[in-house]
Amino acid sequence: MGQLLQQLLNGLTIGSFYALIALGYTMVYGVLKLINFAHGDLFMLGAYLGLVTLMSLVVSMGLSANLLVFMLIFVIVMAVVGGVGIVLERIAYRPLYKAGRLPAIVSALGASIFLQNGVMLLYGARYRTFPEEFKTAVPEVMWTFAGARLTLMQVLMLIISFLLMAALYFFVNYTRVGTAMRAVALDHDTARLMGIDVNRIIALVFVIGPALGAAGGIMVGLFYGRIYFTLGWSYGLKAFTAAILGGIGNIPGAMVGGLLLGLIEALATGFVSDAWKNAIAFFILVIILILRPTGLLGERVAEKL
Amino acid sequence: MKDFRARLRNLDKRGWYLILGIMVLLFPVIVRSDRWVQVANFFFIYAMLGLSLNIILGYAGLFQLGHAAFYAVGAYTTAILSTHFGVPIFVALPISGLLAAIFAILISRPILHLRGDYLCIVTIGFGEIVRIALRNDVSSLVFLAKIPGLALLKEKLTTMVITGGPNGIMGIARPRILGFVFRQQWHYFYLFLAFVAFTIFAMRRLENSRLGRAWTCVREDELAAEAMGIDTVRVKLLAFAIGAAWAGVAGSLYASWVTVIAPESFSFWESVIMFCIVVLGGTGSIPGVLVGTIGMVVLPELLREVLLNIQQWRMLIFGAAMIFMMVVRPEGLWPSQRFRRELELAREMAVPGS
Amino acid sequence: MSRKLLVPLAIVLLTSLVLTGCPKKAAEPIKIGLQAPITGEYAYEGEGFVKCVELVTEQINAAGGILGGRKIEIVKCDDVGKPDESSKCANQLVSAGVAAVIGSYSSTCTEPASEIYNEAGILQITPSSTATRLSQKGFKRFFRVCFLDDRQGLFAAKFMLEKLGADTAVFLHDNSTYAKGLAEWAEKYYKEAGGNSLLIDAINPEDTDFRPILTKIKELGPKAVYFTGYHPQGGLLLKQSKELGTEFKWVMGNACNNPELVEIAGLDAAKGTYITTEPLPKDIPGDAAKKFYNDFVAKYGEPPASIWWVMSADALNVIVEAMKATNSTDSEKMAEYLHTKFKDYPGVTGNIIGFDEKGDRLGTVHEAYVITDTGEFEMVK
């Protein structure tokens, strides 16, 4: 019983990160029908930039590691990675929108390789760790019930990711720009006729998606304390799976898919075998998709290749 | 000399093909380096893989991003048949192709109705499941013994070795014909060349066959194809089966060439390379796949030579090159005529009134 | 022959003449290959190989080279830590005309390369591939300056049972050739010595969250856990294990022998962890080792991070020593010398007693370390 509860908590934590990254996939897909395979690497870039700004603000400039500083770091890094997202869209994707969907995917894969190796060259091939003093910035409080443990850090991470997801949900559903975004997702041409600047909306999507990914990157960095330049590859594939599981293009779907994937992984490890965990997760994904061909929550339009 | 230049200019298509053909035939003699003959051999293997994926992705338009699974099934079948049962390579070769095809039919039947990106993640999933299974081997299934009634299996499971786990399988026999054993890189060069030539020939026939036209129809408009009386399920299954069979044969050749195989050689990354080969070269185009293979397999090797002491820059440049090639030629480096026409049509439609 | 065919034929002949006609210059420096994962998953180890090998090369060349003033030139090749790339690397280095090769890092990469070097007749010394089966193929020119997995497994099993008194244990690896081998050897010896193995499972090295498997182990309640994977995952295991409040003792294999383990885990979580390993760079006895350690710090501003880095320096040292002793760059002669006459060389990884007939380094130097309250690695007496 204790184990089951603990595994559910574990799965929830893992899944909330997946969900946060999956949002980036799903938003870009919703608007462009493009699988942005470089999204995982933007997430990784966020983790590295998070460490770099943290070091320069706290260690070099001597600011104390308080809430305000952390918020500042989130803002800076999310803005920078959002900017990288725009540049990426301009250079690698925009020239390819008319060419069908496959070329853009190859371009995205190229961008993924480029970002990964760029970060490796810039910050070195070593694993990087967040210094000890940041780990103690959050007091080590924990709660124990029925043999399961929950730390304050875990709770904080869950709260931040849910806040970000909720913010995005309200932004897309209850603001003018969000409405425009949904209109573009439905039909580019009609949206253009309605006076929506489609290119600006696409650019906006390429800011918000990567920025959320970057936030996920900083959180993963802070939470686990260790980052590496191939981090985006493994998290990216997981998050993409989560987005598909929930129904790609569907924002609540990405959240549900992420959390579910995290839970499946934790339970598969706990009650079967860690070595087979990913195989089990993919197997369940296949079964779900056979039964529900457009994911758990479904997407609006089924598009052909 | 003037005369020679004039002749050169007058050379028709057949003449150029002839030059190319002779150059390829003489390649090992010309370069006289095991390294470049080996790169050529990798080129052949990936060209076969690219051509096989081209059936599924290019002709039938099925979004397949887990092709390494079929490659792995072929390679491991040959490896197991060769090391456990002493089956000669050229006997194991067709069996490997057949098994890969059966495997493809079994897994693709339930997922054929999935569209676009859903099919993509499911094929990635199957690719990963295969790799994980190979990597874990049966002995790691010992947890099954906890299930009541299966306890007897425990002893058997822990001692059983089939795929060799992360170590893979070594000591795969080399191919032999009438007492001649393929050993050197250049031996394999001609063996693979023959297979690739045959593949190209077969693909050309397939492209213009009844089945090939049916694939095009299904790709263009599945509903219309169905209305025209095409059995879309059968046609798609055939695409998977034939594509997988060819990938299986490539895997079998690969296994007999390197004689040591490990699960790492069949990772998601391999599927990505095959996918990029097809799209980069020009989806649905046979010469395109060959050019794409040069871009994805030979280019990194050339970069290795050029960047002597800055090896760490290699993949960065390669990634940028991928974006560059795609942006400059979205239709692929050597697109098929049909795809090029479609693209132009799409462009015209996209800008109304121009 | 028709005249139409003449033009193509002439082109082919001309090109082949141009391509084959380049004369080869007499090679003044001695080329030695370094095959390492310079990019990819194990890039931090590859980087260390390059640093160490370049340091030694610099020193030798500054001292006037060897064999009558010939300089050493290192030809690098990046195998990305993947077996396919590794075989391409091997052929590239063979074509480059290297006299001997250092590499590669992981056993998975060393294996396919060793076949090619063997066929080409080139001496190969791996600094770090410890999988037992590598030296069981009868390759006459294959050597290693590291020690084998099974001996470490035996040491670890005994250490857990006798020193720690842990009669129940869990074995955890990461499904790499090396880590799986070590875990299985350790489990085998552990069971033979009367220990009770509760579970052997593999983590996925690309993961960052290991709470699920740790929760499972906590439930099983072993007295010790032996982890044979690499330190980046080891550090996270320790960190998360502490957060979950587990009570067993951690023992880790030599791939966790790296100060970064403590950095990743955090001091609190890392202290009290045991590590079975060859001695750390700073603890290696002998003047040569001390001097190398200091030179390395002087040049790069940090100590060598792992034992494998230093091993790569010794791989080069052994090659150079063999060249000097045989006064040639012939792999056949060097291998013969290393098998028979090479004895008690003061290496930078300690005294190299010699090599056995399979090319494996003689002796065993495994020690248990414990991480102290200040984060130092201290030898367990």
What's the 3-state SS for chain B? CHHHHHHHHHCCHHHHHHHHHHHHHHHHHHHCCHHHHHHHHHHHHHHHHHHHHHHHHHHCCCCCCCCHHHHHHHHHHHHHHHHHHCCCHHHHHHHHHHHHHHHHHHHHHHHCCCCHHHHHHHHHHHHHHHHHHHHHCHHHHHHHHHCCCCCCHHHHHHHCCCCCHHHCEECCCCCEECCEECCCHHHHHHHHHHHHHHHHHHHHHHHCCHHHHHHHHHHHCHHHHHHCCCCHHHHHHHHHHHHHHHHHHHHHHHHHHHCEECHHHHCHHHHHHHHHHHHHHCCCCHHHHHHHHHHHHHHHHHHHHHCCCCHHHHHHHHHHHHHHHHHHCCCCCCCCHHHHHHHHHHHHHHCCCC
Q: Which of A2, A234, A269 sits opposite C212 (nearest CB)?
A: A269
| Percentage of chain C modeled with pLDDT above 70 | 93
Residue B42 has pLDDT above 90, yes or no: yes
Q: Which of B19, B34, B167 sits opposite C8 (nearest CB)?
A: B19
Residue B252 has pLDDT above 90, yes or no: yes
pLDDT level of residue C17 (50, 70, 90 thresholds): very low
pLDDT level of residue A60 (50, 70, 90 thresholds): confident
What is the pLDDT, as a whole number, of residue A304?
36
Query: Looking at A255-264, B149-158, C269-278, which range is the least confident one?
Result: B149-158
pLDDT level of residue C116 (50, 70, 90 thresholds): confident
What is the pLDDT, as a whole number, of residue C10?
57
Q: Which of residues 216-255 of A touch C (CB under 8 A)?
A: 220, 224-226, 228, 230-231, 233-234
Q: Do domains C30-147+284-352 and C150-277 have the same CATH topology?
A: yes
What is the pLDDT, as a whole number, of residue B352?
43
For chain C, list residues whose CB is within 8 angstroms of any CB belonging to chain B.
4-12, 15-16, 19-20, 38-39, 43, 76-78, 82-84, 87-88, 91-92, 94-95, 108, 111-112, 115, 120, 131, 133, 175-177, 180-181, 201-202
What is the pLDDT, as a whole number, of residue B8?
65
- B320 vs C367: which has the higher pLDDT: B320
Q: Which of B35, B264, B314 sits opposite C83 (nearest CB)?
A: B264
Q: Which of B138, B67, B136, B160 is nearest to B108 (CA)?
A: B67
pLDDT level of residue B346 (50, 70, 90 thresholds): low
What is the pLDDT, as a whole number, of residue B10?
67
Tokens of A63: 């600011």
Q: How far is C244 from chain A (nearest CA, A)?
A: 6
Q: How far is C43 from chain A (nearest CA, A)?
A: 5
Tokens of B235: 């046609």
Which residues are registered as beta bridge partners of C242? Answer: none
Neighbours of chain C (3+ CB pairs under 8 A): A, B
- C300 vs C43: which has the higher pLDDT: C300
Residue C161 has pLDDT above 90, yes or no: yes
Residue range C341-358: mean pLDDT, rounded: 88
SS3 C359: coil
Task: Look at strands B169-170 and A142-145 and give their pairing.
Answer: unpaired
pLDDT level of residue B140 (50, 70, 90 thresholds): confident
Return the CA Rg of chain A: 19
| pLDDT digits 0-9 by tens, C126-150 | 998 887 778 888 898 999 998 888 8
| Percentage of chain A modeled with pLDDT above 90 | 59
User: How many CB atoms neighbour CB A288 within 10 A?
Assistant: 18
Residue C5 has pLDDT above 60, yes or no: no
Residue A285 has pLDDT above 60, yes or no: yes
CATH superfamily, with its number, for domain C30-147+284-352? Response regulator (3.40.50.2300)
SS3 A90: helix
Spatial distance between the Cα atoms of A208 and A206, rounded to a whole number of angstroms: 6
What is the pLDDT, as a whole number, of residue B291?
94
Here the ipTM equals 0.89
Task: Look at strands C30-36 and C224-227 and give their pairing.
Answer: unpaired
Neighbours of chain A (3+ CB pairs under 8 A): B, C
Spatial distance between the Cα atoms of B40 and B46, rounded to a whole number of angstroms: 10
Residue range C341-367: mean pLDDT, rounded: 86
The residue extents of the domains of chain A are 20-232
Residue range A58-84: mean pLDDT, rounded: 87
Tokens of B213: 């036209």
What is the pLDDT, as a whole number, of residue C3?
53
- The mean predicted confidence, pLDDT, of chain A is 89
What is the pLDDT, as a whole number, of residue A8?
94
Spatial distance between the Cα atoms of C369 and C379, rounded to a whole number of angstroms: 4
What is the pLDDT, as a whole number, of residue A202?
92
Query: Looking at B102-111, B164-173, C311-320, which range is the least confident one?
Result: B164-173
pLDDT level of residue B351 (50, 70, 90 thresholds): very low
Phi, psi of B99 (to 5 degrees): -65, -40
- Taking an 8 Å cut-off on Cβ atoms, the answer to whether A303 and B116 are in contact is yes
| Percentage of chain B modeled with pLDDT above 70 | 92
- The mean predicted confidence, pLDDT, of chain C is 86
pLDDT level of residue C240 (50, 70, 90 thresholds): very high
What is the pLDDT, as a whole number, of residue A301?
46
Residue B339 has pLDDT above 70, yes or no: no
Residue C339 has pLDDT above 60, yes or no: yes
The residue extents of the domains of chain C are 30-147+284-352, 150-277
Task: Look at strands C168-173 and C196-202 and give their pairing.
Answer: parallel
SS3 A142: strand
Residue range A131-150: mean pLDDT, rounded: 78
Residue range C163-168: mean pLDDT, rounded: 91
pLDDT level of residue C41 (50, 70, 90 thresholds): confident
Q: How far is CA B258 from the centre of its chain?
A: 17
| pLDDT digits 0-9 by tens, B165-221 | 887 887 788 898 888 888 888 899 999 999 999 999 999 999 889 999 999 888 888
Q: Specify the fold of C150-277.
A: Rossmann fold (3.40.50)
Residue C199, amino acid? L
Residue range C15-23: mean pLDDT, rounded: 47
Residue range C5-13: mean pLDDT, rounded: 56
Residue B294 has pLDDT above 90, yes or no: yes
What is the pLDDT, as a whole number, of residue B91?
94
What is the pLDDT, as a whole number, of residue B126?
94
* DSSP 8-state secondary structure symbol assigned to residue C32: E
Residue C26 has pLDDT above 60, yes or no: no
User: How many CB atoms neighbour CB A102 within 10 A?
Assistant: 23
Reported for C54-63, long-range contacts at CB under 8 A and 24+ positions apart, including other chains, are C55/C292, C55/C295, C55/C296, C55/C299, C55/C300, C55/C313, C56/C313, C56/C316, C56/C317, C56/C320, C57/C316, C59/C295, C60/C320
B139–A contact, CB cutoff 8 A: no
Neighbours of chain B (3+ CB pairs under 8 A): A, C
| pLDDT digits 0-9 by tens, C197-229 | 999 999 998 899 999 999 999 999 999 999 999
Residue range C260-280: mean pLDDT, rounded: 88
pLDDT level of residue A146 (50, 70, 90 thresholds): confident
Q: Which of B62, B136, B275 sits opposite A275 (nearest CB)?
A: B136
Q: Which of B348, B336, B323 is nearest to A95 (CA)?
A: B323
Query: Looking at A3-17, B150-164, B327-341, which range is the least confident one?
Result: B150-164
